[in-house]
Chain A
């Protein structure tokens, strides 16, 4: 089995289990308050780490390139309360323009 299918299989089965565990096994029981607050913080933590690595990392180097300009423009669109799709379009267009110049 090649890498792509290993990824699809492992992440697929894992996600199905994560989504299904509550409705299938735990019924109306809840997570303890401490575990719940750790899990609640996982999403913002991971998204922030993903954000900075996707914007500023090139393999194992930190760089400031067209992606940073795109992110900045996208950030401004978020501040202006633009819908997510507009935010993404603004970021992509800005990066494309910076590269074209």
Chain B
């Protein structure tokens, strides 16, 4: 990989994530269908994917809205989910070069998958690999969303297709990848329990936000 020039590495990143971009595109279709279902509207759904470019947060926002939650709950849930991009952004900061505007734009291409592809070992990142991967994934996500938004009617009722069960399964798959140690597991279980207990007591969407306090167990010493 180090033999390749700058453009080579850009292309390298794109090629590595190409199969993933297809998967991301299919997710994009799913998001487009569900966003319509949640009443987001065509153009807003596509703009959402192009600017926010963070699948789990967008799915969360659409999920909260279609479950009858408030706008504020949807916004807070999505933004809380994206707070992980603060430390992720910090980790790639040394690899993203150029003017302030260029760095800001490149930083938007950082998602979980491009972040993983751009890692070259020892906590160091290759900016070009990351950007190549990020651009490919972004294209897949936006094109997929557009297809889903426009073709959603042809697909019919998402519930009949079991698409509502796709969400918890996706979150479980993402969760398995995110639990790296015992504390992660404890936080996840605590978050799930808090949310379940609150479901009958408060409006939809709020349980998720309150459950996030479980992450404060991170304040305890790392000895456990």
* A97 CB to nearest chain B CB (Å): 8
Complex: A77 Cα to B166 Cα, angstroms: 13
Complex: A51 Cα to B208 Cα, angstroms: 10
| 1/0 contact string of A56-89 vs chain B (CB within 8 Å) | 1101111000110111011101100001110110
Binding site of A, secondary structure by majority: helix, strand, loop or mixed?
helix
CB pair B169–A91 under 8 Å, yes or no, is yes
Q: Is A26 an interface residue (CB 8 A)?
A: yes
**Chain B residues bordering chain A, tally (CB within 8 A):** 100
| 1/0 contact string of B126-166 vs chain A (CB within 8 Å) | 00000000000000000000000000000000011111111
Q: Given A15-B54, A78-B172, A59–B67 Cβ distance below 8 Å?
A: yes
Interface size class of A (residues with CB under 8 A): 35 or more
* B185 CB to nearest chain A CB (Å): 8
Q: Is B39 an interface residue (CB 8 A)?
A: yes
Q: Given A23-B106, A96-B160, A74–B173 Cβ distance below 8 Å?
A: yes
A-B contact pairs, 13 of them (CB 8 A): A7-B65, A38-B219, A42-B215, A48-B171, A49-B212, A50-B77, A54-B67, A54-B171, A66-B162, A70-B162, A71-B172, A73-B169, A96-B160
* Residues of chain B at the chain A interface (Cβ within 8 Å): 23, 26, 39-41, 44-45, 47-48, 51-54, 56-58, 60-61, 63, 65, 67-68, 71, 74-75, 77-94, 96, 100, 103-104, 106-108, 110, 159-176, 178-179, 183-185, 187-192, 194-196, 199-204, 207-208, 211-212, 214-219, 222
* Residues of chain A at the chain B interface (Cβ within 8 Å): 2-8, 10-12, 14-16, 18-24, 26-31, 33-34, 36-57, 59-62, 66-67, 69-71, 73-75, 77-78, 83-85, 87-88, 90-97, 99
Besides A8-B52, A88-B173, 20 new A-B residue pairs in contact (Cβ under 8 A), listed by A number: A7-B71, A7-B75, A14-B79, A15-B52, A16-B108, A24-B107, A28-B93, A36-B87, A39-B83, A42-B83, A44-B184, A46-B77, A46-B191, A48-B189, A55-B168, A57-B199, A59-B67, A61-B200, A87-B170, A92-B169
